[in-house]
Chains A and B, each alone.
Chain A
Amino acid sequence: MNLEALIQQLMNGLSLGSLYALIAIGYTMVYGILRLINFAHGDIFMVGAYCAFFFVAIFRLPWFLSALLAIGLTALVGMSVERIAYRPVRNAPRISALITALGVSFFIENLGLVTVGARPKAFARPEIMAKIVKIGPAAVSAVSIWVPILSVLLLLALMYVIYRTKAGMAMRAVSTDIETTRLMGADVDRIIALTFALGSALAAAGGIMWACKYPQINPLMGIYPGWKAFTAAVVGGIGNITGAMLGGLLIGMVEIMTVAFFPGLSGYRDGIIFTLLLVFLLVKPTGILGESLKEKV
């Protein structure tokens, strides 16, 4: 492979990895506080993209305003899912919560299929993203540069919230010890809602940027990215935000580079990621940065 192609693929991997990271953070945050794998998270990603699409296509709002509104609306959707479907089963056996999450995921997907149809829609991306930019000898779509940059900015913003604000501190407290956090006079339900809101907002941002990079949206677009982002969260260490970022980048790179160097394997790209997931689950379930949990007898 020549340098030009390599640079292009690296940028591809970087931007794909950033997107996975954005989604993975939502998984890991929810797992950290509730020990729940939110299967519906990948579909939240899809909801973000569609909201932006509708704000632009139907309401004819300017692109960036649409994106912001979409992020906000998706955050509300995420909070609603938690309130309606997950809070009632918070004290139920874990299996029940998992099944509920699966149900929510299928619900969102099929509601999408029923309301907007299975046919993919073209996503209008802003001019600034469609330009072609030169990096060395390679011609790269501006999206591939914007995505990592915007993702980093979002991640920095998130880190600020989590490590420098009271609300973020409360979120960290809840993921350490939910009962003791109650003893601090904190309304844990609200903190959990905030966590879902943040995670969903990031996923929405990811969905919108994904649609800029691969400008076709369909109701099932969240399934595979969702699973790969989940793999990223596990690989990085579930419950660990830095791990999610690391894992996302890793998975993105692995996916792009494998197909770049072994084009014959492109049909297997999803299988490779799943195999990676299985390997980590079996060999190092705590992931690269994670910590082990023991059960008390």
Chain B
Amino acid sequence: MMLAIENLHVYYGGIHALKGISMEVPEGSIVTLIGANGAGKSTTLRTITGLVRPRQGSIKLKGRDISRLPTHQIVQSGVAMVPEGRKIFRNLTVRENLMMGAYHRSDASAVQRDFEYVIGLFPRLEERLSQKGGTLSGGEQQMLAIGRALMSGPSLLCLDEPSLGLAPLLVREVFKALESVHDEGRTILLIEQNARAALKLADYAYVLETGVIKMQGKASDLLENEDVRKAYLGG
């Protein structure tokens, strides 16, 4: 089991944002966490990466509890995150953004190999290596953010709403890239508002509603499920 979350309680901005959720991400799988706004999806990722501290519960990465570690140590343990809104370093070049992803790594040749892999995955970035990150379009920034996370050489890749603000065509491109990453054997945890795209990509899915796991199951099953639609739109 790559990631095992058990009975996680998180308070954020005064609200009891996560009310005892439990979920698992098996090694080599794509798991997605979907749900309406304010459900607590982002909070979950932020807690995994240590930006928010849980009140109760455990988060185990390959059996080791990371829930009380500082963020940089969690990342060094093998978790990489593509944050909501991409959070590219605007003033750094594309190349530097990617290199920041590999900041904590010391093996230069491994870093170089991953660099070439990322460029291969997102050829558009190669043309823009010397450009400042802030000049890229939304879609390019999303690819850069994913590439940057991959440069960390992670065991677990987390993505927070990668489709946000992207045109459908670009969403498709991004998700195709994620599929390819998955085919390489990486484990992916995906938070998404765009439920359909996420469910088509993932193996397993959890549906979060006001801090509680409402539903879970094989992604393909949930894709057909009426209750999922209701969870988003009511009625």
Binding site for B on A (CB under 8 A): 166, 169-170, 172-173, 176-177, 179-188
Contact = CB atoms under 8 A, between A and B. Distances in A.
A181 B100 contact: yes
Given A177-B87, A183-B81, A166 B75 contact: no
Given A183-B75, A184-B152, A172 B103 contact: no
Contacts of B49: 183
B72 A186 contact: yes
A31 to B, nearest CB: 15
A55 to B, nearest CB: 36
A170 B71 contact: no
Interface string B43-77: 00000011100000000000000000011100110
A185 B92 contact: no
A277 B104 CA distance: 41
Interface in B70-110: 70-72, 75-76, 80-81, 83, 87, 89-92, 96, 99-101, 103-104
Given A169-B96, A169-B100, A170-B100, A182 B89 contact: no
Contacts of B50: 182
Contacts of B90: 176
Given A184-B103, A185-B103, 9 more contacts: A173-B92, A176-B89, A176-B90, A180-B83, A180-B87, A182-B51, A183-B80, A185-B76, A186-B104
A148 to B, nearest CB: 28
Interface in B104-123: 104
Nearest to A169: B96
Interface of B: 49-51, 70-72, 75-76, 80-81, 83, 87, 89-92, 96, 99-101, 103-104, 148, 152
23 contacts: A169-B96, A169-B100, A172-B91, A172-B96, A173-B89, A176-B91, A179-B51, A179-B87, A180-B83, A182-B51, A182-B72, A183-B49, A183-B71, A183-B83, A184-B72, A184-B104, A185-B103, A185-B104, A185-B152, A186-B72, A186-B100, A186-B103, A188-B72
Contacts of B91: 172, 176
Contacts of A179: 51, 87
A182 B46 CA distance: 12
A52 B49 CA distance: 46
A185 B75 contact: yes
A213 to B, nearest CB: 35
A228 to B, nearest CB: 28
Contacts of A185: 72, 75-76, 103-104, 152
A173 B71 CA distance: 16
B50 to A, nearest CB: 8
Nearest to B151: A184
Nearest to A187: B72
Contact of A176 (B92, B101, B152): B92
Q: Which 3 A-B pairs have the closest CB atoms?
A: A185-B104, A185-B75, A182-B71
Contacts of A184: 72, 75, 100-101, 103-104, 148, 152
Contacts of A173: 89, 92, 100
B104 A172 contact: no
A184 B74 CA distance: 10
Contacts of B96: 169, 172
Contacts of A187: 72
Contacts of A186: 72, 100, 103-104
